Amino acid sequence: MSYKTVISQLQVQAMAKVILPVLLLVICHSSTHLLADHPIAARWVPPGAARQFVDAHNSARAEVGVDPLKWSYSLANAASRLVRYQKNYMHCAFADMTGQLQYGSNQMWSDYSAKPPREVVEYWVNSGKKHYRYTHNYCVRNQNCGPYKQVVWEKTEMVGCAQGVCGNNNGSLSICFYYPHPGNLGGQRPY
């Protein structure tokens, strides 16, 4: 074997040592993006729960005449990651969403096992709808209409939710993310 052949083989091996890890990183990164929109990615959403979340949202939206939402596996996956983080590191406390403008969000903590998705959304709707005054676009003093307004926010097109049961206290945390508009923007009516 000639000197040039040996050098060429060594160069190919050296390049392979650099290129192979980079190629694997690219493949892994691409596959996680593909999985984000795949139904299996949202592990914290039990079978049928996605439909219940969407149906409950769309029922409230139909009452005010806005278009129905579609389920987003990407949003459900993001909500699932946040629920897991809050469960594992924050004792199931509400996530601080201050300054987060990428998604709109709603959260609910209950002090017993997870509520059915329909009940979670109905709580957000019922607790806010009775206190929201559309004509003047305000909420009755000392009441919180934000979750209701987020559910019916007209410019929102997609929703993704997740739930987690919390350790020893048997409570549960439910989180929904909304896109494209975060909702509850100051001075704007939801519909």
pLDDT(118) > 70: yes
- What's the confidence (pLDDT) of residue 171? 85
In a domain, 158, yes or no: yes
In a domain, 190, yes or no: no
CATH of the domain at 171: 3.40.33.10
Q: What pLDDT digit, counting tens, does each position of 19-71 carry?
A: 433 333 333 343 333 334 444 444 456 669 999 999 999 999 999 999 999 99
> Structural domain tally of the chain?
1
**CA–CA distance, 38 with 33 (Å, rounded to integer):** 9
Q: Are 169 and 46 in contact (CB under 8 A)?
A: no
For residue 130, is it within any domain?
Answer: yes
With respect to residue 1, please indicate whether it lies within any of the assigned structural domains. Answer: no
Residue 19 lies in a domain: no
Q: Is the pLDDT of residue 4 over 70?
A: no
E strand or H helix that includes residue 161: strand 158-165
Q: Answer yes or no: is 135 within a domain.
A: yes
CB within 8 Å of 7: residues ≥ 6 apart = none
The secondary element (H helix, E strand) that includes residue 16 is helix 3-36
Q: Is the residue at 4 inside a domain?
A: no
pLDDT, residue 141, reads 95
Look up residue 113 and give its DSSP letter. S
In one-letter notation, the amino acid at residue 99 is G
d(CA 190, CA 138): 11
* The predicted structure's pLDDT at residue 163: 94
Q: Is residue 191 one of the residues assigned to a domain?
A: no
**Which pLDDT does position 50 carry in this prediction?**
97
pLDDT at 145: 94
State the residue range of the domain holding 126. 47-178
Return all residues near 102 (Cβ < 8 A) that are at least 6 apart. Answer: 179, 182
Count CB-CB contacts under 10 A for residue 52: 18
pLDDT digit string (tens) for 149-180?
999 999 999 999 999 988 766 789 999 999 99
